[in-house]
């Protein structure tokens, strides 16, 4: 059977346990790597030395303790001694029966499937524009052929048959115009 310590060390999410005085009691290996700092240095220090979130983080931790319910804080800056701050979400979870200890899970924005920041949305927009341009081109080419064929057919048919060929030409032109403006 897997022990809790085994789970803690294998958990791929950077995690901290803080005490009632907001000092760090535990940090898992993923947390050490994420913050770029060893557990020997961080244990016993205040969590505020490594996490910042304006008033939201302290208020969220207090609220999670008071309500004994998990809270997600959307934007927290996490950093080590010599590392730049990384923006992440903090899942603040009270630990039942553990003297107001709090488990904090840090989910980096870069692991969230790119939440709207960075180059991925720009590339997706360029890709969508390219697809739309290609589709418009693929629609206009056959319509040009249909229009030309209808006009040619109109010239070789009696006047009473022009109503249908004129309809084909007008509708083809309408589709091309809507593809250009869309």
pLDDT digits (tens, 9 = 90+) for 132-179: 555 666 677 777 888 888 888 888 877 777 788 888 888 888 887 776
**b (16+ CB within 10 A) / e for 29-53:** bbbbebbebeeeebeeeebeebbbb
Residues 153 and 96 in one domain: no
Residues 14 and 103 in one domain: yes
Residues 31 and 70 in one domain: yes
Residues 125 and 56 in one domain: no
For residue 61, give the nearest of 75, 71, 51 by alpha carbon: 71
- Last residue of one domain, picked from the residues 74, 94, 111: 111
What span, in angstroms and rounded, lies between the C-alpha atoms of 109 and 86? 8
Strands 86-94 and 102-108: antiparallel
- Last residue of one domain, picked from the residues 77, 111, 145: 111
Region 38-53: what's the mean pLDDT? 91
Residues 134 and 166 in one domain: yes
Q: What pLDDT score does 102 carry?
A: 93
Residues 104 and 156 in one domain: no
- Last residue of one domain, picked from the residues 111, 132, 155: 111
Provide the domain limits for residue 173.
119-181
What span, in angstroms and rounded, lies between the C-alpha atoms of 180 and 182? 6
Residues 33 and 102 in one domain: yes
Residues 146 and 64 in one domain: no
Q: What pLDDT score does 43 carry?
A: 95
Residues 106 and 123 in one domain: no
Residues 16 and 106 in one domain: yes
Residues 41 and 98 in one domain: yes
CATH of residue 17's domain is 3.30.450.20
Instruction: Provide the strand spans (E) within the chain.
Output: 15-18, 24-27, 51-52, 71-78, 86-94, 102-108
What span, in angstroms and rounded, lies between the C-alpha atoms of 34 and 80? 8
State pLDDT tens for residues 55-112: 788 888 998 898 888 888 888 899 887 778 888 888 999 987 767 899 999 988 776 5
Residues 131 and 49 in one domain: no
What total of structural domains would you count in the chain? 2
Q: What pLDDT score does 111 carry?
A: 64
Residues 6 or more apart whose CB falls under 8 angstroms from that of 88 comprise 14, 76, 78, 106, 107, 108, 109
| Segment of 9-23, 91-105, 107-121 carrying the highest mean pLDDT | 9-23
What span, in angstroms and rounded, lies between the C-alpha atoms of 105 and 114? 18
């Amino acid at each position: 059977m897997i022990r809790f310590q085994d789970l803690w060390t294998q958990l791929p999410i950077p995690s901290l346990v803080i005490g009632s005085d907001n000092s760090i009691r535990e940090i898992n290996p993923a947390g050490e790597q994420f913050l770029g700092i060893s557990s020997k240095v961080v244990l016993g220090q205040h969590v505020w030395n490594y996490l910042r979130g304006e008033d939201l983080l302290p208020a969220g931790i207090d609220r999670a303790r008071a309500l004994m319910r998990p809270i997600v804080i959307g934007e927290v800056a996490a950093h080590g001694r010599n590392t730049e701050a990384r923006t992440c979400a903090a899942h603040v979870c009270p630990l039942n029966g553990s003297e107001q200890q709090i488990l904090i899970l840090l989910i980096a924005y870069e692991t969230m499937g790119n939440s709207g920041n960075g180059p991925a949305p720009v590339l997706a927009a360029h890709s969508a524009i390219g697809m739309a341009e290609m589709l418009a081109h693929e629609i206009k080419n056959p319509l040009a052929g249909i229009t030309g064929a209808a006009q040619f057919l109109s010239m070789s048919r009696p006047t009473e048959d022009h109503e249908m060929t004129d309809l084909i030409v007008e509708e083809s032109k309408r589709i091309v115009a809507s593809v250009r403006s869309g």
